[in-house]
Chain A
């Protein structure tokens, strides 16, 4: 698996021309190539939405499940076979709206899976409603007077929930994004990357130009991603809350035992083989006598 493009499945993406998703797909396949893993050992799990379509275009295993539930599917896959590389992909509606409670628990659970969120502030597949990360005041057909809530801050939420790898990428900084994704996959624990993705059809505020004018690379600053308080400060920066700049890079990386490392049932290998032990079963039956 050395040829570039080998990770692309021969299926034509159905995204709009110019969509940030193409760049994310490009970054993901570059990251997978750099990781030197085999496609049959990778499972991409996705929910529903434009981002959820991503596994169709990547040459590896996939489970394309339900809206909001990708992290639950991913946990099941990883627990059944921890040897697989598991990547959960979804949009902001998928991961922060419908699946919000799963995300909070995923940070806490710290399984060795990767979570990529295509964050464009809007529901694309249902044509333009505000997502949990839509800017306050965003006017849509559903919210003619503008949304009345501030956007959800996934990075701050991840830090509050004891996440161990919290990063933000930007679709158009594809090279950096590929590195962030590879870093998240290599991270031993829950690797979370919020990916700013311009939606050329529905989001007229957060355009390529708007992002270009504001993003900066944490890697170029004096920044230690091991300081959780500092990470929280950076996570709270957002143009609409006063700081007119957006940090890209790894905000925080900590280390803590993964969930699967602590499970007694996994010590004897993966679970994907029915195990039948007559002696054990008769012992169990005897416990009721």
Chain B
């Protein structure tokens, strides 16, 4: 079922929906929550869909069971999306006079908030109390959550919150609850699970990889990565530097990487456009960097707070000339954690840039994650300093030509060797060289890394297995909607499966060919207007998808609608 909190920016939509999601997960349920927000600080219309179930949920639904409408506009916008007899909780003064199929349940939200000491800003908490009543939730869970959230603001604020919550709860009579079709599933064994956004998962992945330096410039929807890490500087001994622009961010990161710190930056497409020259410098100087890109729609400013996947091909070829790079495309928070960790490991092992391609849906959505397996992550050895400690001074060559293309890497100041890194074409020692034969030798050395990089790459998810007649191919955050749509179609007896690529460059051609070998039909699902993954796949494997399902309105796919569009193409039936 889907519970929605809607209202103006500044009315507390985010904190109310986060509170609900947290309580659901603590009660043993699975949650997927997606915030739909406008690019403004006050006013407008924001809403968060909290989808909850007793089995894993991966995407949003367009059908709402319960709506907490903090303003009149929220009722108007969403009442047609309500399920049969779905309930809309709204402030009495905002309740519309005409009724449609949804049941409007007016409560004096603002009045109760004022009466219980909190003022109008607490209307959302009163509403949460009512929602809790309709769902038959234990009020203790929410009260505990409010205590944690507001504990640092003093006892009085906590008490005001609790009073408002109880007041809202009391407003809903038993009779109304009995008529409400929505009730939470009952979970008997409660397991401890995490609830976090994709951006938080990316930040945790970086911490798990031993990242020590971050530089960035605020840009939606990437900023929360930086904000989260800034709060961990003391605990993890890391520096988070807000630079004057994205150009400085990437170039500062390159400097830190040169000096030996595992380093990262995060931005959105516009910021990445500014970083592209720096991406080339990282490649040319062979200083590993991790760049997280939280995609949003449109060239220039586009839709700052909405989602799209139209930067895949840009990332494959960004910067002049040719050089190896990794591109990850995690599908949910769990994958975002492991992908970011692996981006550091592989970037450092091969001394190349690694891009983690996220988007607003992955960045901002709340995902339920069973936990991070810390046995799967560690921070590898990046440097050959010990080996070079006792060699004669000044004999080290930063760009020694090797069979693998990877040269031993030293940190400046650790040995009596000099570390000379150069953005112009250079010889093995790092000095500028315009020699033709040297240019070919050094270029080949860098490009040769692609061989081992490709062998290392290609993590993916095939669901339910590869025997299906039709396979949906996707990458990045569409994982959730495709997974749920395939589930719906399977339940309806359709033979359709999915192949999700969380590692897209070097393109995992062997994996894709093997997985799609027996499919009678290949369908690509992407959030862009030209089918970038489909085009890349065709270029690399000669497999051309039979159908391409695209969406580029800035809103994520919802499972039901996507399932219909997949079913609209030919899908093999169980015989």
Interface residues of A (CB under 8 A from B): 11, 38-41, 43, 45, 48, 53, 55-56, 59-66, 69, 72-81, 83-84, 101-102, 104-105, 263-278, 280-282, 284-285, 288-289
Contacts and interface: CB of A to CB of B under 8 A. Distances in A.
Contacts of A78: 255, 259
Interface stretch (B3-11, B74-82, B205-213, B528-536): B205-213
A81 B411 contact: yes
Nearest to A283: B235
Contact of A73 (B209, B238, B240, B252): B252
Given A62-B420, A285-B204, A101 B254 contact: no
27 contacts: A40-B417, A43-B412, A55-B420, A61-B420, A62-B420, A62-B421, A64-B423, A65-B251, A72-B255, A73-B255, A79-B252, A81-B412, A101-B244, A101-B245, A265-B236, A265-B239, A265-B240, A267-B234, A271-B212, A271-B213, A272-B259, A273-B260, A274-B210, A274-B379, A276-B378, A280-B236, A281-B204
A66 to B, nearest CB: 5
Interface stretch (B116-124, B194-202, B356-364, B437-445): B194-202
Contact of B239 (A45, A266, A282): A266
Contact of B418 (A48, A61, A81): A61
A72 B213 contact: no
Nearest to B229: A265
A59 B431 CA distance: 12
B261 interface: yes
B412 A281 contact: no
Contacts of B417: 40
A102 B215 CA distance: 14
Given A271-B237, A288-B196, 8 more contacts: A56-B432, A62-B422, A63-B254, A73-B255, A265-B239, A271-B212, A281-B204, A281-B377
Contacts of B253: 76
Contacts of A43: 259, 412-413
Interface stretch (B178-186, B277-285, B450-458, B546-554): B277-285
Contacts of B574: none
B234 A81 contact: no
Contacts of B412: 40-41, 43, 61, 77, 81, 84
B254 A73 contact: yes
B200 A288 contact: yes
Contact of B243 (A72, A74, A81): A72
B256 A77 contact: yes
Nearest to A73: B255
A47 to B, nearest CB: 9
B421 to A, nearest CB: 5
A69 B247 contact: yes
Contacts of B569: none
